[in-house]
Structures are given as C-alpha cells and as structure tokens.
Structure 1
Amino acid sequence: MVDFIKIIIKDQLHSVLEANPLLDFYDNINLSTGELKTVNRYGNKITPFKNAFYNGLEFIIYDTGTVTLSGSLHKYWNNGAHNFNDFNFEAFLWVLKDMENKFKIQLENCILKCLEIGINIIPPIQTNEILNYCFLHKTLPFEYKHNSDEGKYKQAQHAQYIIKIYNKALHYKSKGFQIKTEIMRFEIKYTKMEKLNNLGIYNLNDLKTHGLHNFKNELLKEFSNILFYDNSICSQSKSLNNYKNPLYWTELLSNNQKDLFNYHRKQLKNLTARFSDKVQFQTSEILSKKIDLLNIKTTQIDPLTILSNRVACQVTKIDISMQKDNSVLLSHTGLKHYYKNDPKIFEQIKRRYLSKRWLSSDFETQIKEIAHNIRNTKSNQMIKQERIYPPQQINMFSDLGF
C-alpha cells in the first residue's frame, strides 16, 4: 500500500552512508567548470549535494548537513523494477527492516515529508474508461499528467494532498512487462504532513505502528468524492447529455453556481443508482476487499515455519497438504493453491524462488520456474549434506533419526 516516500533523516552520520559499500555517491558538478553546481537549470540557487541510488531509492547528502531519502518502497521490494503487483503490510515491514539493516537507519529518525498510500486492483471495466469519466474530485477537476517514471495518469491536486488514478498495466506493458490483466491504481499522495501528524504519524516508526489498515476509510472516502459519470446509465433523462460533459460541471463551479452544482451532482447520483451497473460502487467494493487482503495475517504466521499436524514442503517448510499424499516439495498444484487462496504466501515464495529473468513472463512459466528452483534447492541441500557427511562417515544425527 505504501509507495513513494520522502524523508529527512535526523542524526544520520554522513560517514556511515558514504562508507556503505551499497552506495556510490557522486557530487553534483558543473561539467564545464568542474565546480559544484550552485544553480539549477532554471537559474535558481541550490545547495550543493552528493547523491547515490539503491533499488529505486535516492540518498542525498547536502553540504548543509541535511540528509534526505526518497523513492518507492514498493519498487524497492521488487529490486527497483516496478510497483504494479501487490505490496502488503508484511512486505512493508520487510522493507523497513532491510533498510535498517543495510543502511543503519533508525526509523524514528526518518521524518516524513511526503507519503503515497495506494492500491492496485483489477477494475470491473477497462481502466482507461474509468479514467476518462473521472471528472472532478470534490470540486477540483482531474487533469491528465505524464512522466517517464509513472506513465500517464489523472490527478486532482488539493492544498495538502493529491488524488491520483493510474493505468498501471498500460504503463508497464510499454516497458516490456507481460501483463495480461487490467491494473488500476488509486492513490493518495500526502504533500503536507498536517493530516498525518493529526494521526500521530511523524516518522517511519509511527507509520509502522499506526498500521496501513487504518488508511482504509480515508482511501474509500476519497474515492467516493470522485464525480464519476457511469457510461452504463440507461435512462431517457435529457440531463445526461450535460452530465457526461466534464465542461458542464466545471462551468457550474466557475460561475459560482454551487447550489446548482450540488443539485445536479445529486441527480446524477440518483440516476447512477437506479439505471447503471454502478461501476464506481463496484470499484469501491474491490478496493475495500483488496485493502483487507493486504492487511490480514497470512494462514501461517511465518511461511517458513512448519505448523503442527500439517505436511510441510522440505524446502519452503510451508503446508502442502493440498497436494498428493506422497509429495515432499511444493509443486505446481500447491503454488496455484496459494496463488488463489493466499496471495501473500505466493508472493513471498515467488520473491524467494523466482529468478529476475522470469519476472515478466506469463503465469504458467513462473509456476514452472518456481517449482524447478525449489527442486534445485532440495538437490543442492542434498549435495551439501553429502559433502559434509560422506557416505562412509558416521552421521550421528541420521543415526538418531533426524
């Protein structure tokens, strides 16, 4: 659910980051003069800095002593590659722990300056149709935006936050990823921290403690604040010609006809409820269920922990009782079971046992490669065991039945 963040790292020793073998820092130098840049391309003064990148995160050390970190935690989880899959609370915790371990960052010292909270879903209709008919958020018009990193999306910018809607599948297909479903992302980008501070969220540790499930009501409320024209409305109302025109709504607002705007918005809501497929309601329900899914505990506390009275894979240690009685390794059947019934377990197994080479391949190929790598892991374990304990050598553990 968490994507982009920008933080200021308090009490961070520069030498710790600069000495980190994972980070290669470069000064921002004027190539013509060899001097540190003090103005940007717009002629505005800037503080000289050095920066480094790792898995989609950017570390900046300014000459003033300020240290910032920005980037997508979701992409970090995918080794900097993308953010079109699911990023649940457990994955979020894993990323925070990994950052603590690799960069010696203390979460309570990571002061939030920007935060994106969003959900990827498969919408009930094509994503582009939803985008085309999202006219306003509250009373602000949606605008199409485009950049090389995020692709084409729609946003409505408020004073303290931005509402964004993306066609994630289209964007990553253009980058060569093989995606066979629609993927729509709905997102709140907090650009000012007042709303978060009112919730007691000031730093990454506060965010971790607060939990991502507590953003559910806010996400659903902001989605309901979208003025959406449902193209499935089947009615003889003459007002529909106006209602499907985004300029009609903006003109009402620009002419200070707020009461008339509210009246017709209510009329559109009634027509949608009575004569349409209720696309916005369907999408909201999908968002709600997806948020719950990303925040519930998995069927196992730890996917690498054997539960009593269950048959466990000898490599992954997760339950494989849904497979044939003589199974000893997680196979195609078990992988498809977890994909359908426990996506969080499936994503964890995929992350561990699927090579980057196959990340953009189709589902069946990924299943085949994961199962293959699990079998290889078992073979490697046996080879290692034989190397440690040659057949002619006495192994007291095997003699004791372990």
Structure 2
Amino acid sequence: MATTTIITNVLKMIDNTKFLLDNRPIIERLYCHPDFIVCKPQNNRYFSLSHKRYGVKLRLDFRTIMLKGAVIGYRHVEINISPHYHKNNYQHNGDDFTPLQAIKSIKDVLCYLNIKESEYSYLKVVNLEFGVNIILHDDIKNIMNGLYYHNKDQFIIPDERYIYSKRSDTTKYKQIKVYAKGIQFATNPGYRIDPNTLRFEVKSKESKYIRTQKIYTALDLLNVFKYEKFADTLLLEWERVLVINLISKTRKEHNSEYWSNLITNEKRNIFRDNKIKYYDGLIRHDNIHLQVKLKLIDKIYQLLNNAISTQKTTINPGFLINDTTSTKEINVENAYLHRCIITGIDISSQKKGSKFLRETTLRDIKINDSDLFQELSSRYLTDHGKQQSDERKIYLICKNIRDVDSNKRNCRKSFEKRNYNANQLQFCFRT
C-alpha cells in the first residue's frame, strides 16, 4: 500500500481582508484618492471605487446616506485589500507568505491609502481569511474525494466547475474551505503553483467570530504575536475534519451514508467517537488526517517562532489617536511560544517552565472553548472517566496528558511502529 508523503512549504496566513471605517475626515481623503475609478458596487446601497490598475483586489465601498433619492454623504467605507496579492504586485502566486510579510503588506497598503499610523485604530476588521498551503507528493484527488465533514457539517462543492474545491456547509459566521489549488490553476503555469498544492483556510465575514481570534482593528493584524491565535485555530479546525483515505483497505467508513447515519443517531457523541476510532484504526496504514496535522504543526510553528524570535518588532502601544505618539523598539530575540509539549495548546498563563496543560488552564478552556474541551475529553478520557464530575474529568485529562510523556520510554517503540511506515522519514517537533 502506498504511503502518502506530504511536504509543507507554504504558509499563507492572511488573505483577503476588509476594514470598516466611519471616520469622516479619512472617508473624504479616501474618496478623493487620485488612483481609484468608479466600479460596479456590491448593491444599490453602495458607491464603489476600484484601483485603476489593480482592480477589485484593492477596492473602496462607500455606504451611502440617502435623502429623497439623492446621496448626501457616506455612513462608512469598507476597505478591501489582499495582502498576498500586494506582495506579488497583484499577480496570482503560490509562493510563501509569512506573518512578517503580511504585516509589511498591510502597512504598505495603508500607507498608500494615506492612512496614518495614528489612525489605524479606526479600522475595524470585518472580513478575514487565513490559511495554509500544503504540497502532496501523491494523489491530491484522494484527499478531496474523501473529505466528508467538518464537525457534523458536510463539505459541499459550491461550484460544479471546480469539483476539487469544497467548503463546509456551516454557519454564516465561519466557513472552512479546502481546495486543490494546484488543480484549479493547472492551466496557469505562470502562477508557479505546484500541481499537488492543497489549501486549507478559515474565512469569516462576521465580527463576532473575528473577535474570537482576538482581532479587532488593523493594529491587531500588525502584531506578530496575534498570528499565534491563527495557528491555534487552523490546527483546531483541522482536528474537526473527517477525511477518509479511500485508497486504503475497503471498509464501511468509506461510505458517506455511514457517517450521515451516525449524525442522525440519537446518541450524542457517537459520530465523534467513531471518527476517533476510525483514525486510530488507520494508524498502521496511511492516516492522511494525522500526516497533515503533524506537518501543519511543524511548519506553522517553525515560521511563527522564526518571525517572533529573529525580529526587532516596532510596537506602538495602542497607537493612541495622536500624531506625536512615539514608537518603542522591543527586542524579542529570546521570545518563544509557550505551549504544552503534548497537545500544542497555549499555556502562557501558567508558571514559567511549565511543560504540560494544567488544571487551571483547562478550567478556562472548559468555560471559553467547549469544543476544544470536548476534543480533549474524547482523546484523554476513558468511558469511565467521561462519567465523572467535571473536576474529576479535568484532573484525569491533565494526568493522562502528562502520562503520554512520562511513559514514552516504555511505549516509544510501539508508538513508532503504529504511526510510521518503516521507510518513512520521521520528524521531531520538540526543541
């Protein structure tokens, strides 16, 4: 049986972004920008301008105020930008796009629009896309055909012209999109996109969800430390994906109806439990989900740590609305991401030197992220443990996480045998 080999070499954290601005002087300044021309508005409530050279990839949508059928002003303006396109002079490209490059591109665009640093806090983030590109050496169509669910939301093909492009049929405030980017742009070799490129991304047009990423204004997108949350979210959302390896040994799980029947089953957790059981059963073969997850962890945190540890980041605390506000240079050469060495969860709030998720942090997770708590419960609790009190569950989860590390000398060989093909290159993700 062939083993799927995956190389992750492209991180494209930030894609299309939209800011909302209701500051009158800045609106007037944007309206008078000489490099924009009138274009078709999104609907009759807007007046829109696009860049005369770059088109709608750099667009201004003014929300009109009407009186007796006439425009008397603008309530706000929506600034639509594409940082990655900007970096490549508005040409499509599948190249690397790091957090530091995203920050530079956003600053460049805002400067070009004559928006001052002291005005960045006026720019509310109302549309956000972030994700990663992964290059596979084997058949990318196998993954796309086996992509069934995100949580209990089925992946659908929104456009029949692109059968290898799927998105989750989920709530409006969050959308998970997975597509074979290399296939989609196969007829455009100038884009330099590897034919086996897979893109995994999270999109939102709702402030409610964007705030869960700790993103409020343009200032947050210029803070490299904020990109850690994007990394956490991408890994968490991939953890919720059900992808079936259709070239593995034939089994009942290959049938999508098997999973749809589990969703309608009266037992609440039967779908999630069977998904975990399926993945665990694939460990001896090619578990696509696990391979992608490990590569995401490796590449995302490699780039984030490089961005944080090798740069002197200019930070203006709060960018108070004052043109004379001075900036401070902070050398974060020794900064690092403080995460549980087993789960990868952020444990920065714990005592310095902590290696594992502790009870206090897990209590916060239970309150603020019930989905993540359920994932941890499913992974680290036995059936008996799941029947215990909440405090007992929290204790057992943390203990079992620590045991993964403390028992490694006894189970390392069996772990490698379960997880790795004998000829497969292995990676160590700890430093």
TM-score by length of 2: 0.58
Which consecutive residues of structure 2, in runs of 5 or more, have no partner in the other structure? 1-12, 66-73, 313-431
AA of the residue aligned to 1:101: C
The residue number in structure 2 matching 1:173 is: 186
Deviation at 1:129, TM superposition (A): 1.5
Aligned partner of 1:118 in structure 2 is 131
Task: Choose from 294, 297, 302 the match for 1:288.
Answer: 297
- Find out whether 1:2 has 2:14 as its counterpart: yes
**What letter corresponds to residue 242 of structure 1 in structure 2?**
K
**What SS does the corresponding residue of 2:49 show, helix, strand or coil?**
strand
Matched, 1:14 2:15: no
Per the TM alignment, residue 181 of structure 1 is displaced from its structure 2 partner at its CA by: 4.6
Q: Is the 8 A contact 2:46 2:61 kept in 1?
A: no
- Deviation of the 1:196 alpha carbon: 3.3
Tell me, yes or no, if the aligned pair for 1:232 and 1:276 is still in contact at 8 Å. no
CA distance in 2, matches of 1:197, 1:224: 21
Match of 1:47 among 42, 45, 48: 45
Please name the residue that 1:34 is paired with: none
User: Counterparts of 1:258 and 1:191 in 2: how far apart (Å)?
Assistant: 30
Q: How does 1:155-194 map to 2 (within 5 A)?
A: 155-159=167-171, 160-177=173-190, 178-194=192-208
CA deviation after TM superposition for structure 1 residue 191, in Å: 3.0
Q: What CA distance in whole angstroms lies between the structure 2 residues aligned with 1:92 and 1:152?
A: 27
Displacement over 6 Å in runs of 4+: none
User: What is the root-mean-square deviation of aligned Cα atoms in Å?
Assistant: 2.9
Aligned to 1:269: 279
Is the contact made by 2:213 and 2:230 (CA closer than 8 Å) also made in structure 1? no
Instruction: Give the one of 119, 127, 140 matched to 2:140.
Output: 127
Q: Indicate which of 208, 231, 235 corresponds to 2:246.
A: 231
| Partner Cα distance (1:137, 1:215) in 2 | 18
Q: Alignment partner of 2:185: what SS?
A: helix
Q: In structure 2, what is the Cα distance between the partners aligned to 1:75 and 1:147?
A: 26
The one-letter amino acid of 1:52's match is S
Q: Out of 154, 158, 169, which is 2:166 matched to?
A: 154
| 1:320-363 CA distance string (max 9 Å, x none) | xxxxxxxxxxxxxxxxxxxxxxxxxxxxxxxxxxxxxxxxxxxx
CA-to-aligned-CA distance 1:121-151 (integer Å, 9 cap, x gap): 2135332221111111111111112399x99
One-letter amino acid matched to 2:127:
C
Looking at structure 1, the residues matched to 193 and 213 of structure 2 have their Cα atoms a distance apart, in angstroms, of 37
AA partner of residue 203 (structure 1): T
Task: Tell me the distance in 2 between the aligned counterparts of 1:10 and 1:147.
Answer: 39
Read off the aligned partner of 2:234 and give its amino acid letter. Answer: L
What is the aligned partner in structure 1 of residue 230 from structure 2? 215
Going from structure 1 to structure 2, the CA distance change for 1:249 and 1:76 (only over 3 Å counts) comes to: same
- Give, as a single letter, the amino acid of the residue that structure 1 aligns with 2:229: N
Distance 1:50 1:233, change over 3 A: closer
1:63/1:208 Cα in 2 relative to 1: closer, same or farther (>3 Å)?
same
Q: Are 1:74 and 2:67 matched, yes or no?
A: no
Secondary structure, aligned partner of 1:80: coil
Aligned 8 A contact 1:124 1:279 in 2: no
What CA distance in whole angstroms lies between the structure 1 residues aligned with 2:132 and 2:18? 19
Cα distance in 1 between the residues matched to 2:167 and 2:259: 17
CA distance, structure 1, for counterparts of residue 244 and residue 238 of structure 2? 13
What is aligned with 2:100? 90
Figure out how many residues of one structure are paired with residues of the other and give that number: 280
The TM-score normalised by the length of structure 1 is: 0.62
Give the whole-Å Cα distance in 1 for the aligned partners of 2:272 and 2:294.
25
Offset, 1:21: 2.6
Residue identity matched to 1:24: I
How many angstroms apart in 1 are the aligned matches of 2:303 and 2:273?
Answer: 38
Q: Which has the higher contact order (CA 8 A, sep 6+)?
A: 2
Can you list the C-alpha shifts for 1:142-192, whole angstroms capped at 9, x where unaligned?
1112399x9951111432311111211122223343544521111111232
| Farther-moved stretch of structure 1 (289-298 vs 92-101) | 289-298
In the TM superposition, what is the alpha-carbon distance from 1:17 to its structure 2 partner? 1.8
Contiguous gaps of at least 5 residues in structure 1: 29-38, 41-45, 235-239, 303-402
In 1, the alpha carbon distance for the partners of 2:29 and 2:207 equals 28
Distance in 1, Cα, partners of 2:238 & 2:29: 42
2:251 partner SS: helix
SS in 1 for 2:96: coil
Give the corresponding residue for 2:121.
108
The 2-side partners of 1:247 and 1:52 are apart by 46
Q: 1:280 to 1:48 in 2, by over 3 A?
A: closer
Q: Supply the distance in 2 between the matched residues of 1:151 and 1:260 (Cα, whole angstroms).
A: 30
Contact kept in structure 2, 1:165 and 1:185, CA below 8 Å: yes
Q: Which amino acid aligns with 2:262?
A: L
Contact 2:126 2:210 in 1 (8 A): no
Question: Is the contact made by 1:108 and 1:205 (CA closer than 8 Å) also made in structure 2?
Answer: yes
**Is the CA contact (8 Å cut-off) linking 2:142 and 2:245 kept in structure 1?**
no
The structure having more radius of gyration, on CA atoms, is: 1
Between the aligned partners of 1:206 and 1:152, the Cα distance in structure 2 is: 33
Q: Which residue of 2 aligns with 1:372?
A: none
1:63 matched to 2:44? The reply is no
